[in-house]
Amino acid sequence: MGIRDWSRDQSRNIKTNNNLRLATCDQSQVACYATAKRTTTCDLRSVAGRMSQVAGRMSQVASRTTCKFKGCEGLGEVPGGTHGHG
């Protein structure tokens, strides 16, 4: 009888341990989800990435316009002075 009770206790302990483990897993998942929702660092990072892309495009446009004014032919622009202004 004693052995049977001990095994029953053991199985009960294992069950509670498993339940605790599952609960902690769920908690960590919930915590992960909560932090993901609360701190939108990923979103901010992607936005920052987009902003830097936009900034890159802006600087490209700026360099193009300055090249146009300088008359550099590197970007296929017509050199200054031959725009039909005489």
Query: Model's pTM, two decimal places?
Result: 0.23
pLDDT-derived band at 38, boundaries 50, 70, 90: low
For the chain, domain boundaries: 1-39, 41-71
DSSP string, 16-46: HHHHHHHHHHHHHHHHHHHHHHH--HHHHHH
Q: What percent of the chain has pLDDT over 70?
A: 20
pLDDT of residue 77: 45
pLDDT-derived band at 15, boundaries 50, 70, 90: confident
Contact 80, 70 (CB under 8 A): yes
